[in-house]
Structure 1
């Protein structure tokens, strides 16, 4: 059960409370009763590296491998595998179109710009949502709190426990709760949340408003320049968000790797404190249903 904090807080992502949580057995891949590896793939970290041109390709994981013994079986990992490749394809298509000198009808150029801008906005938001849910899947945070949650709900959602108990309303942040465990709340509150909200708004605008994009009668060169600037803006936002999410992702992987190395003994506090991990009292005694 997610613990409740003081309800007297401002509403919204910047005022949302951060909850303590523990891992569940599905946080790792098991083989014959032994933990093998973390049950998540660092897609956000890899996306950061790819956008920074430090690697040439992104991880590819298909549903064909999901049921193979020893393979990651986190359902969000396979969604992320597809979303990551789609984003890479969209960005490559944008770069190819922007750098092309081929003659093209001005209307066709505008239609291409609108399509690529819309696709990038939609998939950037989906990537962030799926990256967060991949981590939440490894925790005891109830699945009903995040399975169908949008970006906004992952950043701030009403505390149902307090509402049902008739107490003052307040919001909780699922992403903030993940960051809180690793002392990463400050960076999240001061930077990442605003970028995440901006990408969510871009996606919602594309999806909900039929007039969000219009064809402007201008030269193909101007359409290409507009798309180039859009890529710089959204690409920067995506890279920035992936970097923050990837940092949390990496900490979760480090913590589960400590568990795997020391199983069946409890994870040493000396190793956990180097990550570092908050709530070390969870490791004072071994719990059969927790990692």
Structure 2
């Protein structure tokens, strides 16, 4: 908290290492041997556009999972549900904070303020988590590595391969920085986006998770509404900024996979047999079949 009474992200140094990674076949949606599309939905992009009133939110249901060529990324389905839930919370927050509630007394208004503010914090952090995990699902990292990670651990956590030996502390790894690194986005993430994610995560952990919550502060209905509008707007402003960075990462990965998918499709159409389609897809690098990188 700063002197102006607003929450601002703390500038900190992020030391998490960035691991080398490749895409796995599940980065694509498949219809038999044919690539049908990319196996993630640009959730951050669509959520930001919806918040800017320039786009609609996606609807991907469990029925789509059964379709040939449909999404098989579990975090796509989780993410679609979460962004739709958050959109309802944002609408409810804005409506309650800006419109009159003649049937509510001071206690009603304060409880509603706490409920809506908590839901904004919880769902904004969860949406960030699922956006990151949806992209990680397209990499060769085993899901057990990140499945149970909360947002803070995705930003920076101890390397699971390092054991404490002779009292040494294992180095840290950033899964977010690791995703951003091949596209030369890691610096802007570490100097901006991750600070905003860290702020939302700390607010969630200190005010809206586990047993922690703000205390009731019974005052007039309008005072509770004014605080809700102020606090909720600050959280959503930080969240919107995070989405802008995550949208860039989604866009780079989507374009990268689309180019690689076109090259793989051409190899298939030109008669490359299935037994030779063991590709090594390195993010951010042009795919050339038969190159030294592909043979490694």
TM range (shorter): 0.7 to 0.9
Cα RMSD (Å): 2.4
Aligned position for 2:232: 231
Aligned position for 1:51: 51
Question: Is residue 256–residue 284 contact of structure 2 (8 Å, CA) maintained in 1?
Answer: no
CA distance in 2, matches of 1:280, 1:165: 40
Show CA shifts across 1:225-280 (max 9, x none): 111111210111111111111111111110111122121457xxxxxxxxxx6455
Residues 1:194 and 2:195 are matched in the alignment = yes
Aligned position for 2:84: 85
User: Against the structure 1 CA distance between its residues 43 and 196, is the aligned structure 2 distance closer, same or farther, given a 3 Å change threshold?
Assistant: same
CA distance in 2, matches of 1:47, 1:152: 21
CA distance in 1, matches of 2:101, 2:123: 27
Aligned position for 1:247: 248
User: Against the structure 1 CA distance between its residues 153 and 54, is the aligned structure 2 distance closer, same or farther, given a 3 Å change threshold?
Assistant: same
Aligned position for 1:208: 210
CA distance in 1, matches of 2:288, 2:189: 24
CA distance in 2, matches of 1:20, 1:282: 19
Give the stretch that moved more between structures: 187-196 or 154-163. 154-163
Residues 1:125 and 2:101 are matched in the alignment = no
Residues 1:37 and 2:65 are matched in the alignment = no
Shift of 1:158: 1.1
Shift of 1:13: 6.8
Aligned position for 2:277: none
Aligned position for 2:17: 17
The DSSP-based 3-state class of the residue aligned with 1:37 is strand
CA distance in 2, matches of 1:75, 1:100: 38
Shift of 1:157: 1.5
CA distance in 1, matches of 2:164, 2:218: 54
CA distance in 2, matches of 1:162, 1:112: 46
TM-score normalized by the length of structure 2: 0.84
Which ranges of 4 or more aligned residues in structure 1 deviate by more than 2 Å? 160-169, 277-288
Aligned position for 1:60: 59
Shift of 1:168: 6.0
Shift of 1:128: 0.4
Question: Is residue 75–residue 134 contact of structure 2 (8 Å, CA) maintained in 1?
Answer: yes
Question: Is residue 36–residue 260 contact of structure 1 (8 Å, CA) maintained in 2?
Answer: no
Aligned position for 1:136: 136
TM-score normalized by the length of structure 1: 0.85
CA distance in 2, matches of 1:102, 1:168: 54
Aligned position for 2:110: 110
User: Against the structure 1 CA distance between its residues 21 and 282, is the aligned structure 2 distance closer, same or farther, given a 3 Å change threshold?
Assistant: farther
Aligned position for 1:70: 69
The DSSP-based 3-state class of the residue aligned with 1:162 is coil
The DSSP-based 3-state class of the residue aligned with 1:176 is helix
CA distance in 2, matches of 1:192, 1:67: 35
Question: Is residue 13–residue 171 contact of structure 1 (8 Å, CA) maintained in 2?
Answer: no
CA distance in 1, matches of 2:215, 2:126: 23
Shift of 1:68: 1.2
CA distance in 1, matches of 2:287, 2:28: 21
